Every structure is written in C-alpha cells, then in structure tokens.
Amino acid sequence: MTYGDIYSKLIIKKGEGMSKIKFSVLGSYFLCVFLLAGCVTLPQNESTGAAEKNKVSLSVAPILKFEDLPTPSGFKFLDKESFAFQNDKSRVALLKYYGGQNAEQVLAFYKEQMASFNWSLVNIIEYDRKVLNYENSEESCIITIQPQGGKSMVTVALSPKSRPIKPEKLSSKEYK
C-alpha cells in the first residue's frame, strides 16, 4: 500500500461529511467560548466613595430593547451576550448591560422605574448580587445586578409567566 492509497482513504469525499465536521468543530469552539466568558469577573472594590456615588440618580436610556423594560442611562448594551425573541404571542429575552454606576444605584433605579412600566415587584434577593423578580399580567422579568469594581453588570431575563402546576390525582391505592 502506498502513501497515495492511504491518503485517498483518509480524505473525506467533498460534500459527504465535511459540513458535519465543520459544524462539530465550530459548535465546540462556540460552546467553549460561551462557557469561558461566563467565568470572567472583574475585581470588586465598591467601598471607595460609595456614599457619594449613591447620591446620583439614574435616568432611563433613550434606546430600549423593549419599551417596557427600562435601562439606566449610560449603560452599554452587550449585543454579543444578549438575545431577544418576540412574536405576536410572547417575548423572550436575555439582555445584558454594563455601566459605570454601582449596584446600589442600579437597584434604586429599577425599584423606581419598573413600577412606572406596570411591573409588580415579587421579591428581592440580595447576596453578592442583587436579584429582583417582577411580573405583570403575562410575563415574568428577573433582573440580576452584579457589582464589578464600582460598576455594574445588569442581566434582564424576560419570559412568559408560567402557569401553575396542577398536582396529579393519585388513586386510593397509591396512598396506602
């Protein structure tokens, strides 16, 4: 067997599997990039001048992805880390923003602004991040505020409101 014979057996005929290989390689690459991007953080140092920064109030940005989801003015929309879908029946979105205001200012902004866009606050969970859960008659919105060195990363997750789960009826045999 010659090198030419081996080479011809190893070469995939054009159009018979090359697209599958390219798709697999590209898919793996993008998955790795996506997973690694989620692990990147910036140093946190929110203590410097926090009292002075809290006095500044934020205004709504003039360009909104959805008209009823406010964004603090001056925050940059992270297009490559976001997605949005809307049709005549529902909206789904994961919108990311980064800006120069600290997490307390952003929290105060959303507490004030979401009510003016007819969103009802369900609860707030605070730990190293601040998570605000809102709902209206048809949708749920979760806003996560991640402090990043005196600045903030904001993630807005929008989805249709889930319906209550009905418990299954058990037969009398299953209770025994």
Same domain, 29 and 71: no
> Across all residues in the chain, what is the average pLDDT?
75
Tokens of 120: 């009802």
- 90-101 in b/e form (b: 16+ CB < 10 A) is ebebebbbbbeb
Bigger pLDDT: 52 vs 98: 98
Same domain, 32 and 78: no
Dump pLDDT digits (tens) for 13-24: 444 454 544 445
Same domain, 59 and 123: yes
Tokens of 103: 């997490």
- How much is the pLDDT for 42? 42
| Beta bridge mates, 142 | 133, 157
Answer whether residue 166 is part of any domain: no
E strand map for the chain: 76-77, 83-86, 91-99, 120-126, 130-135, 139-148, 151-160
Same domain, 27 and 86: no
* Three state DSSP letters for 50-95: HHHHCCCCCCECCCCCCCCCCCECCCEECHHHCEEEECCCCEEEEE
Dump pLDDT digits (tens) for 81-139: 999 988 888 999 999 999 999 999 999 999 999 999 999 999 999 999 999 999 999 99
Those residues with Cβ within 8 angstroms of residue 137's Cβ, 6 or more apart along the chain or in another chain? 161
- How much is the pLDDT for 143? 98
Same domain, 83 and 133: yes
The most confident of 16-30, 60-74, 110-124, 153-167, by mean pLDDT: 110-124
Same domain, 115 and 152: yes
Same domain, 76 and 115: yes
- How much is the pLDDT for 31? 45
Q: Domain count for the chain, please give it.
A: 2
> What are the backbone dihedrals phi and psi of residue 50, each rounded to the nearest 5 degrees, phi first?
-65, -40
Same domain, 27 and 58: no
The percentage of the chain sitting over the pLDDT mark of 90, rounded to a whole number, equals 47
Answer whether residue 165 is part of any domain: no
Which domain, by its residues, includes 79? 50-160
Same domain, 61 and 31: no
Same domain, 85 and 31: no
Which of the residue ranges 1-5, 69-73, 139-143, 152-156 would you say has the lowest mean pLDDT?
A: 1-5
Same domain, 135 and 64: yes
- For residue 39, the tally of other CB atoms under 10 A from its CB is 6
Tokens of 51: 């009292």
- How much is the pLDDT for 35? 42
DSSP 8-state code for residue 25: H
- How much is the pLDDT for 165? 77
CATH code of the domain covering residue 86: 3.30.310
Those residues with Cβ within 8 angstroms of residue 125's Cβ, 6 or more apart along the chain or in another chain? 131, 133
